[in-house]
Amino acid sequence: MRKTGTARFVSDLHLSAERPDLTARFAAFLADTAASKVTTLFILGDLFDAWIGDDDLAQPFNAEVCSLLRKLSDQGTQLFFMAGNRDFLIGDRFAQAAGLQRLDDMERVCEKVGAGETAILIMHGDTLCTDDTDYQAFRQQVRNPAWQSDFLARPLAERRAEAAALRQKSRAATKEKSQIIMDVNAEAVRQALIASGCRRLIHGHTHRPGCEHIALADGVAERWVLSDWDTHRGDALEVSTEGSIRRIDLAT
């Protein structure tokens, strides 16, 4: 995919009806994105705390988030969405209603800088956590199309209860896991950079905002990690037309 103009990247907003403060922050961020004439907004997963299927769009909170996105799209910003581990069930119906284009789990964003071209690798980040084998097994199961059709065929109320139970299980499981297991695996990062040919990676998921420099055989790569959004936490990354990158602090 080719990017022209300024692009912004966010992830792990975990929006829910229970957190109106985060929805208000999101609305303000989108308004600023429009006012700043940002060309492209990339949402790199976990926009929602949990998404149980596009047939839940009628729910007032979901409809509100959808219309906020639609407004930005109508104002001329291109919107792209990559699935996270909380909202991998977002499908075409939501994408169409919100005015966004869905991306695969790993994407190369090319930008023209001067005479040359640079490319940014974007991911949610969960696939880089290869040491978290329980999570990877779980991921394989829920990303299976047959499993997803079965799940989506169940009544909304049942799905909602299942998702809440799963969030509980996940909270209990992550309490038991070490911080190292839940971070990215260094070799998985290197392999992703080498295979893509990119020298800049932007991802979220780990909730450990930062920028790491990684020495590769033919130069140094940058791994930029987005923050999750919570009380006193939250950010966006902005890449200018010239390719410079800056972190926008959105914490309130």
Using CB under 6 A, list all residues that contact ligand LP5. Answer: 50, 52, 85-86, 89, 126, 129, 132, 134-135, 138, 141-142, 147, 162-163, 166-167, 169-170, 173-174, 177, 182
Q: Which is nearer to Mn ion, 99 or 234 (CB)?
A: 234
Positions in 67-106 near Mn ion (CB under 5 A): 84-85
* Residue 227 binding: pick among Mn ion, ligand LP5, none (C-beta 5-8 Å cut-off by kind): none
Report the alpha-carbon distance of residue 218 to residue 212 in Å, rounded.
17
- Contact of 81 with 101, CB cutoff 8 Å: yes
- Residues touching Mn ion: how many (CB under 5 A)? 4
Q: Is residue 159 close enough to count as binding Mn ion by CB under 5 A?
A: no
- Contact of 8 with 38, CB cutoff 8 Å: yes
Q: Is the dihedral of CA 155, 70, 77, 246 positive or negative?
A: negative
Output the smallest distance, CB 95 to ligand LP5, in A. 17
Q: Which is nearer to ligand LP5, 12 or 111 (CB)?
A: 12
Q: Is residue 14 close enough to count as binding Mn ion by CB under 5 A?
A: no
Q: Which is nearer to ligand LP5, 176 or 218 (CB)?
A: 176
DSSP per-residue string spanning 149-186:
HHHHTS-HHHHHHHHHHHHHHHHHHHHHS-TTTTSPPH
Output the smallest distance, CB 96 to ligand LP5, in A. 20
Question: Which residues are CB-contacts of 137 (< 8 A; sequence separation ≥ 6)?
Answer: none
Longest dimension (CA), the chain: 55
- Retrieve residue 111's tokens: 């930008």
Q: Which is nearer to Mn ion, 119 or 184 (CB)?
A: 184
Positions in 42-61 near Mn ion (CB under 5 A): 46
Pairing of strands 78-82, 100-103: parallel
56-96-11-110 Cα dihedral, nearest 10 degrees = 160
Q: Which is nearer to ligand LP5, 50 or 239 (CB)?
A: 50
Q: Is the dihedral of CA 23, 26, 30, 32 positive or negative?
A: positive
Among 3, 19, 159, 205, binds Mn ion (CB under 5 A): 205
Q: Which is nearer to ligand LP5, 34 or 106 (CB)?
A: 106
Report the residue number whose CB is nearest to Mn ion: 205
Q: Is residue 183 close enough to count as binding Mn ion by CB under 5 A?
A: no
Please give the residue ranges that form the binding site for Mn ion (CB under 5 A). 46, 84-85, 205
